[in-house]
Structure 1
Amino acid sequence: MGAPGIRPPALAALVLVVVVLAVCSGCGLFSQGTVVSPAPIIDDQGQPIAESSPVPIATPDGVPLPDDTIVIGALMATTGFLAVYDEPALVAAQNRIDALNEAGGLLGRPVVLRHFDSHTELSAMRNGAEHLLLDGIDLLLMTCDAVYAAPALEVLEGSGTLVISPCGTDDVWITGELGQRVFSMATPVSTEAELLVSLVADRGFTTAVVIIDQTSTEAVAVCEAFERKFEASGGRVSGLYRYQPTDPGLLGPILSGLIDTVPESIAFCGTRLVGPEEILAPIRAAGIVQPIFASSTMDGDHWIGKVPGVGDFTMLSYASVYSGAPDPSPAVRLVLDDYLAATGHRASDGRMVTGHDAIEAYIRAAERAGTTEPDAVAEQLRRFDGEEMAIGPVTFGPDLQAVADRPMRVITVEEPYARFSRLAVAEP
């Protein structure tokens, strides 16, 4: 569906990414009052720590494409605080596309990626969707955040475009509420909450304090769901505390609540940018040693040194990026190797593998459909039943358009390292 043109030489090696700057000052999620964008992580010398990957080389808009080109658009953030989730998945998607072209393309046709950086700005999403539609895209890779996706999905409604979010975790991705051609390769927050409950229950704990770092809407959703599901399973939540970096005074009640209630366990949903130094380190410094169970938003080991005596700490992950305990999946290890080769550094967490799996799912569905026609490809996606992908089996269906039952990795801390422990499987 690309524009007519002349086939460029060595197409298999091309990286076609269009970065369009469409920014409205002050129009991001922070201005909506629902999230605080944390400052970048810096090391002891004040230098930024690489939390994202280099953007692929940009090719100016209007580069002629062969008329049989399959065009994949990506409306994802490579700047702003959502970049920590979007950009690694985008790099993994590009790597899979490059390998696909080296093998001859899809359905015998070359595949290119056109990227529109949303800059983590709500105002850019509508413009980005309109721009990519003009490119005649066959598939759109959508940002991880459903709030940000909404303006773009409004534009796409009625266009017939197939949409896959590599990392959209909000439960609204599950049922087709966002559209019958809208899918997510991520684990929904409701499933992750169930897995978090199982981690606590497997240790025999029946009481927990819940602590939520409100700088992440996903973290908020997971721990709120954990509270409901833990109590429904017979557990007791003896306290729920929320923290905002704009109000450090919230830390005192958290510490006093933990000391007063003496829970068996702590369920923690936070971000790597705020949680370690502002919440976890003070907890451990206060002599509070209860086991902590964390959502996948804490995945990554670079923060562990910032929490002296982190102690008994377990978290969920999509894939083990830890060299001391490699992921059990050879396919995941290959994706991680490709990421390292493309960026020069290892992935900061396992979620980026969903970018690879999003493209892999599209490839398989299009090959089985024998076409890139969106409805035909969507129908093949809905037929996935235990389809083995890099990070585990994928099942979709008429009322299931996110990966609701895929296992997640359990990562445990053996200070100063984090290690893969086992797979956690959601109850059917």
Structure 2
Amino acid sequence: MKYLTTAAAVLALCGPAYAADDITVGFAIAKSGWMEAYDTPAATAAKIRIDEINANGGLLGRQIKWVESDTKTDRAQAAKAGLQLIDEGADMMVVSCDYDFGAPAALSADAEGMVSFFLCAEDVKAGIQGVGPYSFSGSVLAPVQGATMAEWSHAKRNARTGYVLLDTTIEYNKGICTGFDWMFPRLEGTEIVGRDTFKNDDASIASQISRIKALPTQPDVIMLCSYIPGAASAVRQLRAAGIESLILNGSAVDGSYWLDATPNLSNFVVPVQGSIYGDDPRPEVEAFNKAYEATVGARPASSYAYPGYVLMDLWAKAVERAGTLDGAAVTAELEKMRNEATVFGPRSFTSELHHQNFAEMQIIEITDGKPQAVDNWTISEAVPLDVLLK
């Protein structure tokens, strides 16, 4: 299969008329509510890959069509959406980025023996451990992001002391900190000198800041495990208080859309699966960015679009190898994948883990309010399953 063909990049997402024997992909995703900001870009990327596959002859000699149902960022509605798509004849289901909001639809698919993919969930439960044997995610686990930040900052910024600031609102945040907590103490000469928690909608983290400032010296790094808008509020307050430590976070804060809330921000770093800024070292990534722009009229706002493209590519490869849409057969082929090539780097699955617990990440640093790719990093060892399950 060819990636990112010019013709496919400009195909309308609604696609042509389909025959009765076409393959149907069901999208149980948020088209409204706060999850829409994550689901729509990744779903758009998945549909771009569908168009490319169709333009290159289809899958198993058949064209792929898609149907979708709005989960409205609501768990109960997600369960209904999954059942609706099954009734509409879905052969495979794509569900919301977040485990909590995608799981109800994925559980419906799993009960039917149907493969499902979370668009960009980064919690291990969005797979075998939380849904069942036919559930996968197209993204890289949150603990990998935290571990990447720990090892990279130690190697490249001489980080020896760290402070962990955890937003306990969603499981994703906890995963980032889990990875940092696992990796950082394993590195030479390091110490976690403190930790604290807050909620994403807290108006103030003044007490947490006071505890950081009470330390004998500021920590080299602050591992901030949060998402927008809480992350932006926390960063703004930390800098306003005169804390200049290198701030680390996960991929959820990728993008420049929030930076007006933190004017001239510097010394802030995140790991991502690819750069949206035109400076990714892999030409294929920029080719995707342009294909996305040709399709919707704008470049991806964050790297969370990318896992949608990856999941559709991997699923289609597994279907071709299995020679069938049968969930068990396709799952078996997915679980054989080891360092399977994709536009955004190699991907692997096993019978124990339907996620990425080891991956190359691009390092994005914000300096004077401008993000850019400054490095790439692959952690020295995969995050173990027992750590992922904490």
TM-score range normalised by the length of the shorter chain? 0.7 to 0.9
Among 266, 271, 276, which residue is 2:222 paired with?
A: 266
Please say if 1:302 is aligned against 2:268. no
The residue that corresponds to 1:28 in the other structure is: none
1:182-210 Cα distance to aligned partner (Å, 9 max, x none): 11121112222211211232222221112
CA distance in structure 2 between the aligned counterparts of 1:247 and 1:185, rounded to whole angstroms: 31
Q: Is the 8 A contact 2:93 2:109 kept in 1?
A: no
**Structure 1 unaligned regions, length at least 5:** 1-11, 18-58
Please say if 1:74 is aligned against 2:30. no
Give the alignment of 1:382-401 within 5 angstroms.
Answer: 382-401=335-354
Q: Is the 8 A contact 2:276 2:301 kept in 1?
A: yes
Letter matched to residue 226 of structure 2: G
Q: CA 1:220–1:399 in 2, change beyond 3 Å: closer, same or farther?
A: closer
Runs of 4+ in structure 1 deviating by more than 6 angstroms, as ranges, are none
Among 198, 203, 216, which residue is 1:243 paired with?
A: 198
The residue that corresponds to 2:111 in the other structure is: 158
Letter matched to residue 276 of structure 2: V
Q: Is the 8 A contact 1:15 1:113 kept in 2?
A: no
Please say if 1:231 is aligned against 2:185. yes
CA distance in structure 1 between the aligned counterparts of 2:373 and 2:177, rounded to whole angstroms: 22
Q: Is the 8 A contact 1:16 1:114 kept in 2?
A: no
CA distance in structure 1 between the aligned counterparts of 2:332 and 2:66, rounded to whole angstroms: 23
Q: CA 1:412–1:67 in 2, change beyond 3 Å: closer, same or farther?
A: same
Q: Is the 8 A contact 1:269 1:297 kept in 2?
A: no
CA distance in structure 2 between the aligned counterparts of 1:73 and 1:239, rounded to whole angstroms: 45
Q: Is the 8 A contact 1:142 1:164 kept in 2?
A: yes
Letter matched to residue 111 of structure 2: G
**Structure 2 unaligned regions, length at least 5:** 1-9, 382-390
Among 275, 299, 304, which residue is 1:346 paired with?
A: 299
The residue that corresponds to 2:85 in the other structure is: 132
Q: CA 1:287–1:345 in 2, change beyond 3 Å: closer, same or farther?
A: same
1:243 CA displacement? 2.7
Q: CA 1:191–1:110 in 2, change beyond 3 Å: closer, same or farther?
A: same
The residue that corresponds to 2:372 in the other structure is: 419
Q: Is the 8 A contact 2:18 2:63 kept in 1?
A: no
Q: Is the 8 A contact 1:269 1:298 kept in 2?
A: no
The residue that corresponds to 1:211 in the other structure is: 165
CA distance in structure 1 between the aligned counterparts of 2:297 and 2:14, rounded to whole angstroms: 20
CA RMSD of aligned residues (A): 2.3
Give the alignment of 1:171-182 within 5 angstroms.
Answer: 171-173=124-126, 175=128, 177-182=130-135
Q: Is the 8 A contact 1:207 1:264 kept in 2?
A: yes
1:242 CA displacement? 2.4
Q: Is the 8 A contact 1:361 1:381 kept in 2?
A: yes
Q: How many residues align?
A: 368
1:418 CA displacement? 0.8
The residue that corresponds to 1:119 in the other structure is: 72
Q: Is the 8 A contact 2:147 2:183 kept in 1?
A: yes
- TM-score, with length taken from structure 2: 0.88
Letter matched to residue 105 of structure 1: G
CA distance in structure 1 between the aligned counterparts of 2:166 and 2:376, rounded to whole angstroms: 24
Specify the SS of the correspondent of 1:211. strand
CA distance in structure 1 between the aligned counterparts of 2:181 and 2:163, rounded to whole angstroms: 9
- TM-score, with length taken from structure 1: 0.80
Among 193, 207, 212, which residue is 1:253 paired with?
A: 207
1:228 CA displacement? 4.4
CA distance in structure 2 between the aligned counterparts of 1:399 and 1:313, rounded to whole angstroms: 34
The residue that corresponds to 1:38 in the other structure is: none
1:341 CA displacement? 1.4
Letter matched to residue 198 of structure 1: E
CA distance in structure 2 between the aligned counterparts of 1:108 and 1:210, rounded to whole angstroms: 52
Letter matched to residue 365 of structure 1: A
1:324-361 Cα distance to aligned partner (Å, 9 max, x none): xx212222212211211122122111121111111111
1:175 CA displacement? 4.7
Sequence identity of aligned pairs in percent? 24
1:155 CA displacement? 2.6
Among 166, 175, 197, which residue is 1:221 paired with?
A: 175
Please say if 1:327 is aligned against 2:280. yes
Q: Is the 8 A contact 1:284 1:309 kept in 2?
A: no
